[in-house]
């Protein structure tokens, strides 16, 4: 993949900002406020948000407009939005140094998304596996927004000309589409390098955390079984109970990576352990090879409670202070708009829209 950080055009008035500060690029990432924020969201994305903030200029967005592509109870949505913002803060993101905001407060996302709806091809959208999974058999009855979702996601990223996007493995295809949209826009409108070709940042031992009830299914906010996931707000007892009941197989712990690969439930728990302990999975396999699952589960419970307990407690504390979280979101949205508005104005000019 091309090194977009160094390929950034010097004529662009926005990119040199981070370069001048000696940073590697500008990050944008988002999380949907659809409730049940879980361990997969944390290990695959949110924990990395905090780890990247020393090397990048960061914008972290609660994507409430994405959330309503499937029905959300209006009475619950604002609380769910604050919950995600609290998780960013509890994970250690500095909301003053970086930007934390909710998507609907920055209308430029939707404005650019419309242009991208006219750039993206139906054939591209039809390939999106997440749409197929979410729409299921009832495809005629899902919202148009769910179908257009990946074009809005591209707009979330490119309205800031973000160079890097930390996400879990499941978002890879959407980021490839974002790259395709940027390239096609730049070509169609003869605006070379106007939008960057964004790099995904997918790293860590748990880029795809699986369900605790079925190691072949992704851990997800919408799984009807709460025992399939560890929620970030779960207390120690809930975490212990869920790990104890996590599905395993009747054999002793895997004794090699090849053995683990054939046993998805065991492999998933090993990956979670490795990520929480900041170890290589191979080292965890070596440590527990041939031992009983009960020993391993006890160690995993202790580790999970130690690592997640403080994050969950801080989230709970922040959620009791909605005024504080709202101030961070408002201030973040203002700062985000200051970056987005001139990029949208330039885009409108390139497209040929008359402007006030």
Chain residues in the site for ligand TYM (CB under 6 A): 28-32, 40-41, 44-45, 63, 66, 153, 156-157, 165, 167-168, 170-171, 174, 207-209, 218-219
Q: For the residues of 155-202, what is the DSSP string, one character each?
A: HHHHTTT-SEEE--GGGHHHHHHHHHHHHHHHHHTT-TTSS--PEEE-
Shortest Å distance, C-beta 172 to ligand TYM: 8
Shortest Å distance, C-beta 54 to ligand TYM: 20
The nearer residue to ligand TYM, 29 or 248, going by C-beta atoms, is: 29
134 is catalytic: yes
Beta strand 57-62 with 99-102: parallel, antiparallel or unpaired? parallel
Shortest Å distance, C-beta 169 to ligand TYM: 6
Query: What is the Cα 4 distance to its own chain's centre?
Result: 21
Shortest Å distance, C-beta 218 to ligand TYM: 5
The nearer residue to ligand TYM, 218 or 297, going by C-beta atoms, is: 218
Cross-strand pairs, 26: 57
Three-class SS state of 2? coil
Spot the catalytic one: 218, 242, 281, 297. Answer: 218
Q: Find, among 36, 114, 108, 111, the residue nearest to 72 by Cα.
A: 36
Shortest Å distance, C-beta 63 to ligand TYM: 4
Spot the catalytic one: 134, 184, 217, 247. Answer: 134
Three-class SS state of 275? helix
- Long-range contacts formed by 124-128: CB under 8 A, 24+ apart: 124/177, 124/180, 125/150, 125/151, 127/173, 128/173, 128/174, 128/177
221 is catalytic: yes
Shortest Å distance, C-beta 41 to ligand TYM: 4
Distances (CA, A) of 251 to 100, 281, 286: 46, 19, 16
Cross-strand pairs, 31: 62
Shortest Å distance, C-beta 206 to ligand TYM: 6
Nearest-10 crossing angle of helices 172-188, 108-117: 70
Which residues of the chain form beta strands (DSSP E)? Answer: 26-31, 57-62, 99-102, 164-166, 199-201
The nearer residue to ligand TYM, 165 or 285, going by C-beta atoms, is: 165
The nearer residue to ligand TYM, 145 or 295, going by C-beta atoms, is: 145
Q: For ligand TYM, which residue has the nearest CB?
A: 44
Using alpha carbons only, what angle is made at residue 174 by residues 170 and 177, rounded to the nearest 5 degrees?
Answer: 150
The nearer residue to ligand TYM, 41 or 248, going by C-beta atoms, is: 41
Q: Are 82 and 319 in contact (CB under 8 A)?
A: yes
Query: What is the Cα 73 distance to its own chain's centre?
Result: 22
Q: Which two tokens stand for residue 35?
A: 């409730």
Spot the catalytic one: 24, 172, 217, 221. Answer: 221
Would you call 323 exposed, middle or buried from its count of C-beta atoms within 10 A (0-12, 13-18, 19+)?
exposed
Catalytic residues: 134, 218, 221
């Amino acid at each position: 993949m091309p090194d977009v950080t160094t390929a950034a055009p010097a004529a662009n008035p926005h990119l040199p900002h981070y370069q001048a500060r000696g940073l590697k690029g500008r990050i944008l990432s988002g999380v949907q406020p659809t409730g049940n924020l879980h361990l997969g969201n944390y290990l695959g994305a949110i924990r990395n948000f905090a780890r990247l903030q020393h090397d990048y200029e960061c914008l972290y967005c609660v994507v409430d407009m994405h959330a309503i592509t499937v029905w959300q109870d209006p009475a619950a949505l604002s609380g769910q939005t604050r919950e995600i913002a609290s998780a960013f803060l509890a994970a250690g993101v500095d909301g003053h140094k970086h930007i934390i905001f909710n998507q609907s407060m920055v209308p430029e996302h939707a404005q650019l998304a419309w242009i991208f709806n006219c750039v993206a091809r139906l054939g591209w959208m039809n390939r999106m596996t997440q749409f197929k999974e979410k729409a299921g058999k009832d495809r005629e009855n899902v919202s148009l927004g769910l179908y257009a979702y990946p074009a809005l996601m591209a707009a979330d990223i490119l309205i800031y000309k973000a160079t890097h996007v930390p996400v879990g493995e499941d978002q890879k295809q959407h980021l490839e589409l974002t790259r395709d949209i940027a390239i096609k826009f730049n070509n169609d409108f003869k605006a070379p390098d106007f939008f960057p070709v964004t790099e995904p940042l997918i790293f860590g031992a748990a880029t795809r955390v699986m369900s605790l009830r079925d190691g072949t299914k992704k851990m997800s906010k919408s799984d009807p079984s709460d025992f399939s996931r560890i929620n970030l707000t779960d207390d120690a007892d809930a975490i212990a109970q869920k790990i104890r009941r996590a599905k395993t197989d009747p054999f002793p712990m895997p004794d090699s990576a090849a053995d683990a690969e054939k046993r998805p439930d065991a492999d998933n728990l090993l990956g979670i352990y490795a990520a929480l302990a900041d170890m290589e999975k191979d080292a965890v396999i070596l440590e527990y090879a041939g031992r009983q699952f009960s020993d391993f589960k006890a160690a995993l419970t202790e580790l999970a409670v130690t690592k997640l307990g403080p994050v969950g407690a801080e989230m709970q504390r922040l959620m009791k202070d909605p005024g504080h979280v709202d101030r961070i979101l408002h201030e973040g949205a203002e700062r985000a708009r200051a970056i987005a508005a001139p990029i949208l104005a330039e885009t409108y000019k390139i497209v040929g829209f008359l402007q006030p």
